[in-house]
């Protein structure tokens, strides 16, 4: 890609046009702040688990249709795809939010509370959904001058990291009039104060895969361990050995987590057990480090199990790739962010080892993922998936404006490339 974004050097946008001004965009977003907050609260009161987001889906379909957007039917029970066709010819860009909640009992607070026992929007996907709806509203107001189309992806089932793949499997890219050239998304970030935007080049969120280890030994009487092959002692040795996947086998400058997360073996009875299963996950930013970790995990498990007289099987289960922001879109995203909040409110914190299936779309479409500050300034802000988790909803208009601005700059960059 050519350096077309140099046009926006120092956060300066090219010649101001009606409908494209940052201040005007923010003003319009602020004006709908109350409506966005009401939508977010409505979603917050009625959280739905992955692939069960039926009420959310129906609500979004209704509201997006009222905006005048076309709905694209993927044949999925949940999730919404909406299309805005601009008044001018051009390419297509996409914006994405996730819509599902988590299985967690929300702790009481003075804001809108979940009405569903044991389910809460504990990761702020209600915030993302309302923010993307706001972006759709802002872009609808610019429909006549929009050079191209914008696709709005309201993705189900992010929490189980399956929703993005499900949308692709249901023919998302084939059912759109044109494959989007760019994709933008964001996640709230309680550690950053509302009003800030994180723009990072390179890995933002980790990739993740899962493993299952099965050990087979020989059962027998608890009083005769020498006549048995005890899988519990072997399993303990395997867990210890796996600690070296990170400490001895991974480049210290790479980020990797290799964790055993469950172990099951034995009964309360006085037997030496002969079967142990353990599960765990590998999280990574570099695919090469991931592959190396898988190889060493298998070698260590088979070798240690054999040393203890056991046999072992290792199975890997696919997860999601790392969410990685490329340099060209990072430049564009920085311009979008700086234009809205100024240089001093655009930050680049260290990446996170949590995972996001936004990355699954990112394998198909050049994509950029923001973090948007959602912490109450000066307050203690509980992290994602904590029962006290909350978002500072004064940041909702900024979420809407940032996504809308990203789409506008994306379409403009594509038309500049096409015309040069
Ligand atoms: Ni999340």
pLDDT digits (tens, 9 = 90+) for 124-134: 999 999 999 99
- Compute the distance from residue 7 Cα to the ligand 1 centre, in Å: 34
pLDDT at 152 over 50: yes
More confident of the two residues 280 and 416: 280
- Position 177 pLDDT exceeds 50: yes
Q: How far, in Å, is the centroid of ligand 1 from the Cα of 34?
A: 23
Q: Is 168 exposed, middle or buried (0-12, 13-18, 19+ CB in 10 A)?
A: middle
Query: For residue 161, how far is its CA from the centre of ligand 1 (angstroms)?
Result: 10
Task: Work out the pLDDT band at 20, boundaries 50, 70, 90.
Answer: low
Chain centroid to Cα 388, Å, comes to 20
CA of 351 to the centre of ligand 1 (A): 14
> Do the beta carbons of residue 232 and residue 273 sit within 8 Å?
yes
Q: How far is the CA of 401 from the centre of ligand 1 (A)?
A: 20
Compute, in angstroms, the gap from residue 344 CA to the centroid of ligand 1.
26
The answer to whether residues 412 and 92 touch, using CB atoms and an 8 Å cutoff, is: no
Packing angle between helix 396-419 and helix 33-45, nearest 10 degrees?
110
Which pairs with CB-CB distance under 8 Å and at least 24 residues apart come from 7-15? 7/416, 8/332, 8/335, 8/339, 8/409, 11/335, 11/338, 11/339, 11/342, 11/343, 13/335, 13/339
pLDDT above 60: residue 17? no
Least confident of 162-166, 210-214, 383-387, 416-420: 416-420
Averaged confidence pLDDT in the chain: 94
- Inform me whether the pLDDT recorded for 4 exceeds 80: no
Contact 192, 376 (CB under 8 A): no
- The mean pLDDT of 393-420, rounded to a whole number, is 94
Does this model's pTM top 0.85? My answer is yes
The tens digit of pLDDT for each residue in 269-314 reads 878 999 999 999 999 999 999 999 999 999 999 999 999 999 999 9
Rounded distance from Cα 355 to ligand 1 centre (Å):
9
Give the pLDDT confidence of 350-381 residue by residue, as tens digits. 999 999 999 999 999 999 999 999 999 888 99
Q: What distance in angstroms lies between residue 72's CA and the mean position of ligand 1's atoms?
A: 24
Distance 365 CA to ligand 1 centre (A): 20
| Cα 125 to middle of ligand 1, angstroms | 6
């Amino acid at each position: 890609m050519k350096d077309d974004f140099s046009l926006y050097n120092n956060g300066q946008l090219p010649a101001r046009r009606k409908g494209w001004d940052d201040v005007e965009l923010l003003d319009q977003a602020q004006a709908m702040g109350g409506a966005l907050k009401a939508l977010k609260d409505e979603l917050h009161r009625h959280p739905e688990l992955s692939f069960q987001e039926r009420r959310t889906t129906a609500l979004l379909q209704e509201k997006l249709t009222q905006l005048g957007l076309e709905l694209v039917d993927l044949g999925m029970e949940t999730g919404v795809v909406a299309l805005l066709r601009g008044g001018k010819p051009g390419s297509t860009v996409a914006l994405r939010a996730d819509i599902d909640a988590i299985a967690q009992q929300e702790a009481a607070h003075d804001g809108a509370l979940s009405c569903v026992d044991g389910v809460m929007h504990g990761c702020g996907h209600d915030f993302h959904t309302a923010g993307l709806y706001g972006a759709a509203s802002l872009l609808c107001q610019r429909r006549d001058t929009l050079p191209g189309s914008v696709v709005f992806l309201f993705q189900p089932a992010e929490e189980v990291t399956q929703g993005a793949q499900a949308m692709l499997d249901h023919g998302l890219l084939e059912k759109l009039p044109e494959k989007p050239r760019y994709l933008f998304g964001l996640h709230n970030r309680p550690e950053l104060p509302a009003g800030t935007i994180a723009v990072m080049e390179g890995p933002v969120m980790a990739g993740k895969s899962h493993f299952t280890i099965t050990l087979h030994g020989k059962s027998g009487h608890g009083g005769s361990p020498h006549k048995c092959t005890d899988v519990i002692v072997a399993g303990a040795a395997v867990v210890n050995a796996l600690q070296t996947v990170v400490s001895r086998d991974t480049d210290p400058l790479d980020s990797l987590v290799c964790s055993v997360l469950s172990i099951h073996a034995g009964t309360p009875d006085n037997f030496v057990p002969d079967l142990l299963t353990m599960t765990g996950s590998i999280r990574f930013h570099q695919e090469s480090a991931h592959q190396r970790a898988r190889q060493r995990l298998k070698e260590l498990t088979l070798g240690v199990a054999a040393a203890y007289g056991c046999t072992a099987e290792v199975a890997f289960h696919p997860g999601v790739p790392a969410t990685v922001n490329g340099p060209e879109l990072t430049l564009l995203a920085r311009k979008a962010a700086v234009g809205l909040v100024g240089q001093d409110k655009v930050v680049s914190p260290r990446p996170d080892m949590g995972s996001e299936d936004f990355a699954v779309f990112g394998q198909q479409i050049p994509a950029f993922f923001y973090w948007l500050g959602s912490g109450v300034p000066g307050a203690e802000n509980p992290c994602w998936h904590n029962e006290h988790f909350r978002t500072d909803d004064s940041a909702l208009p900024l979420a809407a404006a940032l996504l809308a601005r990203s789409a506008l700059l994306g379409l403009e960059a594509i038309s500049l490339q096409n015309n040069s």
